[in-house]
Structure 1
Amino acid sequence: MKAQLCGLLVAAALLSPQAGLAQGDSQLYDSMQRTGPQTMEGTQAVEVEAEVISVNKKTRELVLKNEDGEKVTVKAPPEVRNFNQISKGDMLKIRYVESLAVEIKKKGTADNMTNTSSEIVRSKEGQKPGGMVVGTVSAIGTIMKVDKPKNAVTVKGPQRTVTFHVQDKSVLDQLKKGDQIEVKYTEALAVSIDSVKR
């Protein structure tokens, strides 16, 4: 989903090593909390700022300085609306939020399935470049095995079977072969450029 951000401004990964949390980072899963007898949820957010050091209107290149003082040059693609509104000294702000909700359904009868959706919002004509990308993936899978000694659960989804570890051991006591798990994963990435008052 984050690749779609080129249509907004730049990839967040260029500004901070913390970006790209959905790509193998375990912090979201470590944050999972029980929210009901059969549900768990986890959320984490990262905010990054970078100062615009220089703007090349002809090549559409920006030199940005992040919070650690590191500089990076990025090129805004043609899809970035209102590029000429960006000025030296402006602040680029990125907020990335991801959430995961899991619901256990005892002996569910729904078909294993996956649904994806995304929404892109861009700034209006004449405003500073910016926007937001929101992507959601919903999936239903069937539990094939519960391995309590290894704190692991094997789930068969619509396309593949995966095994994952569960932090909260008490959750395993509620899981049985044949139960279904419904998962909803959401990413939201917002980018904005604010003018600095001079």
Structure 2
Amino acid sequence: MSYLKWVVSAVIVAAAQLAAAQGQTTANVTHEPGKATVTGMHKVTATITKIDADTRTVTLKRHDGKLVEAELGPEVRNFDQLKVGDVVTMTYKESLTLSLKKGGDGETSVQETPQVERAAAGEKPGGMVGREVKVTANVVAVDTKTKTVTLMGPEGGTMDLRVEDPQQLANVQVGDQVEAVYTEAFAVSVKPAPHK
């Protein structure tokens, strides 16, 4: 298993219950001729109430008062820097941008770029795991009645994309290309307990 997949799996297991808690969620949609972007973010905070160094387990108190245990594997650097009262913040961000390329060259592609950042030695544990996926697909059909554009991707598969905006739809023709860029990032940071 690649290092990135291993770290992502560890993060998901450690954070699943905490992320299910109520938190702050935002979403935004922007568009201009030939381009549309959707972004979203979910942020959750919790306070460390107990640390078991032998099992590398921390007990977190969520905003709703529920206690959650998370076992932090060896990939979590600087475990010994954690203290009871520290505030853990987890942020998940994602975005999707679709851009129309008029009269594209017909070349389709898919490219995935992983990202991993870990806390430096001696700092509070934390880091970020993310990826960017870029896909270029060909427009093979436009149906104004159903408001759909059919795209063919690099592996020959097709998908229908619904376009609600009539001006955007009128701008798309067979032979054009659509570039989709999807990014996601999951970040965890730890701040020292507030002084009283």
Same fold flag (TM > 0.5): yes
Q: Describe the shift of the 1:3–1:64 C-alpha distance in structure 2 as closer, same or farther (beyond 3 A).
A: farther
1:79 paired with 2:75, answer yes
Deviations 1:51-99 (A, max 9, x none): 1121110001111122222222111111110111112111110122212
* 2:91 counterpart of 1:95: yes
In the TM superposition, 1:30-179 aligns within 5 A as 31-35=28-32, 37-159=33-155, 160-179=157-176
Q: Residues 145 and 153 of structure 1 are in contact (CA less than 8 Å); yes or no, is this contact kept in structure 2?
A: yes
Distance verdict in 2 for CA 1:65–1:92, change over 3 Å: same
Cα offsets for 1:101-126 (capped at 9, x unmatched): 22111221141100110121111111
Alpha-carbon displacement from aligned partner over 1:24-68 (angstroms, at most 9, x marks no partner): xxx96xx43213x32222222221101112111000111112222
Structure 1 runs (4+) deviating above 6 angstroms are: none
Once residues 11 and 144 of structure 1 are traced to their aligned partners in structure 2, the CA distance between those partners, rounded to angstroms, is: 43
2:135 and 2:181 in contact (8 A); partners too: yes
What amino acid is aligned across from residue 179 of structure 1 in structure 2? D
Contact 1:16 1:66 in 2 (8 A): no
Query: Kindly tell me: are residues 186 and 5 of structure 1, through their superposed partners in 2, closer, same or farther at Cα, counting changes over 3 Å?
Result: same
Work out whether 1:14 is the aligned partner of 2:17.
yes
Between stretches 65-74 and 161-170, larger displacement belongs to 161-170
- Residues 14, 71 of structure 2: 8 Å contact kept: no
Q: How many residues align?
A: 188
Structure 1 residue ranges without an equivalent (≥5): 20-26
Distance 1:170 1:64 in 2: 50
Q: What is the CA–CA distance in structure 1 between the aligned matches of 2:106 and 2:15, rounded to whole Å?
A: 37
Aligned-residue CA RMSD (Å): 2.5
What is the distance in 1 between the residues matched to 2:151 and 2:121?
Answer: 47
Structure 2 unaligned regions, length at least 5: none
Instruction: Check 1:11–1:103 CA distance in 2 against 1; reply closer, same or farther (3 A cut).
Output: farther
Report deviation, 1:8.
Answer: 6.2
Say which of 4, 7, 16 aligns to 1:4: 7
**Residues 1:2 and 1:193: Cα distance change in structure 2 (over 3 Å):** farther
The AA in structure 2 aligned to 1:184 is V
Alpha-carbon distance change, 167 to 91 in structure 1, aligned in 2, over 3 angstroms: farther
Among the aligned pairs, what percent are the same residue? Answer: 34
